[in-house]
Structure 1
Amino acid sequence: MRGRSDAGRLTAAVRDPRVRGAVGVGALFLAVQLLALAAAPRLAGSGVSYGSGGDALVPLVLGLAVGTVLSLAVVRYGASRRLVRGVMLASLGAAQWFTVSAFVGPVAGAVAAAVGTLLAWRLPRPAVRNAVAVVGVAGGAALFGASLDPAYAAGALVLAAGYDAYAVYSSGHMLDMADASAELRVPSMFVVPTDERYDDANATVTGGGTPAATLLGAGDALFPAMLTASVGVAAPGTLAAAAPLLGSLVGLAALQVFVHRVRGVHAGLPFVNGGALVGWLALLIA
């Protein structure tokens, strides 16, 4: 009887849209980490980086600032959606190139990145956007992971987590950026539909307030993967990178539990970055 009861609970859990969404987001999150971890040493070995030490912090901050300004320009000031979408897709294409070129070379990488960007532009469906986002986010994480020493990468995670909390709970402009992403239909977040009535124009709820999809911002995957890649480059041939990777997965699991128990929109980086940092610190202490 107990076996049947356990099987029933397992079946119910699998059917629960919250569980399916969490598992789907977790798989995409892990894919970004592993791809960035594989690409970063190749980029570093071929000299593709922003320098050494903390030099990459400047382009990292500038890139995030530009993305924020473009998103807010659409929602708050009615900027041309076509222009902003084009700029964002071009940036995404460059990020994809870093990932693919690390394995197949610059020319084939450029062709693959162009195809991925074209698909994201012409077929902005969740499956396409998620696939393109995985490659693009992994490329950004690999590039900065190849450029930043782990200590600088860890510092970036601390600052990003603080900014994310401020942007969600204080200024609220992170919500505007999420709205801009939905309007522009660019792969700037991961979307895992959990309801057959899912509407791409309204990815948060269906009738009756039931969650239609589980969402995770691209930045929530970028930053912990950046630390994982940085540790992988600094300690090649070891399992050191597993520490921040596993820590970030624990943080992601905690985020999913928190989101489903506490209503409202919540900052993800304090959870995932916090987990990655705890894993990295445990590695240093061990």
Structure 2
Amino acid sequence: MSGRSGSGRPASVISDPRIRGALGVGGLFLAAQLIALAAAPRLDGSGISYGSGGDALVPLVLGLALGTVLSLAVVRYGASRRLVRGVMLVSLGAAQWFALSAFVGPVAGAVAAAAGTVLVWRVPRPAVRNAVAVLGVAGGAALFGASLDPAYAAGALVLAAGYDAYAVYGSGHMLDMADASADLRVPSMFVAPTDDRYDDARATVTGEGTPAATMLGAGDALFPALLTASVGVASPGSLAAAAPLFGSLIGLAALQVFVHRVRGVHAGLPFVNGGALVGWLALLLA
């Protein structure tokens, strides 16, 4: 899911908040992919994965379903925020651990992941939340990228894009999930502030007006990174992973253009997953 909030002040290309916001989320999006691409082969080599082939599709679907249920339980049924926040933060800590342990080992990775989780809970500022979100996305993408063959990963991207479109434009429950994540102070989005008054801790500004930021759902970065990591593991030592990576960046650019031309919140996965899939298919044809 992607969207924007904020001012429409006239500005040059360099200072235009739309450009700054797009570059901000683009940089976070790229960072998550590159970390996942570097971490996935290490996880695969250390045996930290769900096996091979398509075995990881089951835990992937179950994990996403659990996140959906917990978010909706808070918004629609008044479930305990403290309990749901705890479960989500533990899951976020585990995802960070996958990324960190690939580089610093399991023990140091666990300590760093725990510190990051506590920090994002106590200091929910944009820079902190973005850093933890990038690590969490990269860890999840690396784990499943190391577990899924590219064909299965591509299938997951197709299904996820269809679900995202339905959840945003059909049932609308993706908007409830975003509200729940903001209320629970769980970093489920990349946020690139385009106004110095933006205060991500309370989603308010310190002066008059509305929050000014470009946002991209963490899931919109996870799935294309998953395919990039999967291709990287399947074709080590080659540049094959660049195809889905660059394809997803093109999809992200198209999404940003669409978001700024058509107001509102939009499904991001059809754009970024579509770009990644086109890049991957172009690689196969080549």
Q: TM-score, normalised by structure 2?
A: 0.93
Contact 2:124 2:201 in 1 (8 A): no
The Cα shift of 1:65 comes to 0.2
The Cα shift of 1:209 comes to 6.8
* Structure 1 position 187 matched with structure 2 position 187: yes
* Structure 1 position 51 matched with structure 2 position 59: no
Structure 1 equivalent of residue 21 of structure 2? 21
C-alpha distance 277-205 of structure 1, shift in aligned 2 (>3 A): farther
Letter matched to residue 113 of structure 1 = A
* Structure 1 position 88 matched with structure 2 position 76: no
Q: Which whole-Å deviations, capped at 9, do the CAs of 1:45-74 have from their partners, x for residues lacking one?
A: 111100110000000000000000000111
Structure 2 equivalent of residue 145 of structure 1? 145
Contact 1:71 1:177 in 2 (8 A): yes
Question: Which is richer in helix?
Answer: 1
Give the % identical residues. 88
Aligned length: 276
Structure 2 equivalent of residue 128 of structure 1? 128
- Say what the alpha-carbon RMSD is for the aligned residues: 1.6
Structure 1 equivalent of residue 3 of structure 2? none
The Cα shift of 1:197 comes to 2.0
C-alpha distance 207-13 of structure 1, shift in aligned 2 (>3 A): farther
Q: How does 1:103-252 map to 2 (within 5 A)?
A: 103-200=103-200, 203=203, 212-252=212-252
In structure 2, runs of 5+ residues without a counterpart are 1-10
For the residues of structure 2 that align with 1:257 and 1:170, how far apart are their CA atoms? 22
Structure 2 equivalent of residue 65 of structure 1? 65
The Cα shift of 1:173 comes to 0.1
For the residues of structure 2 that align with 1:166 and 1:143, how far apart are their CA atoms? 26
Structure 2 equivalent of residue 8 of structure 1? none
Contact 1:97 1:139 in 2 (8 A): yes
- Runs of 4+ with deviation above 3 angstroms: 201-211
For the residues of structure 1 that align with 2:203 and 2:222, how far apart are their CA atoms? 22
Q: How does 1:33-48 map to 2 (within 5 A)?
A: 33-48=33-48
Rg bigger for which structure?
1
C-alpha distance 242-235 of structure 1, shift in aligned 2 (>3 A): same
Contact 1:183 1:201 in 2 (8 A): no
Letter matched to residue 35 of structure 1 = I
Q: TM-score, normalised by structure 1?
A: 0.93
Letter matched to residue 278 of structure 1 = V
Structure 1 equivalent of residue 4 of structure 2? none
For the residues of structure 2 that align with 1:185 and 1:230, how far apart are their CA atoms? 30
Contact 2:197 2:205 in 1 (8 A): no
The Cα shift of 1:94 comes to 0.4
For the residues of structure 2 that align with 1:105 and 1:251, how far apart are their CA atoms? 34
The Cα shift of 1:199 comes to 3.4
SS of 1:191's partner is: strand
The Cα shift of 1:125 comes to 0.9
Q: Which whole-Å deviations, capped at 9, do the CAs of 1:94-150 have from their partners, x for residues lacking one?
A: 001100111111111111111111101111111100000101110000000000000
Contact 2:25 2:214 in 1 (8 A): yes
For the residues of structure 2 that align with 1:78 and 1:69, how far apart are their CA atoms? 12
In structure 1, runs of 5+ residues without a counterpart are 1-10
Letter matched to residue 53 of structure 2 = G
The Cα shift of 1:79 comes to 1.0
1 or 2 for the larger relative contact order (CA 8 Å, sep ≥6)?
2
Letter matched to residue 108 of structure 1 = A
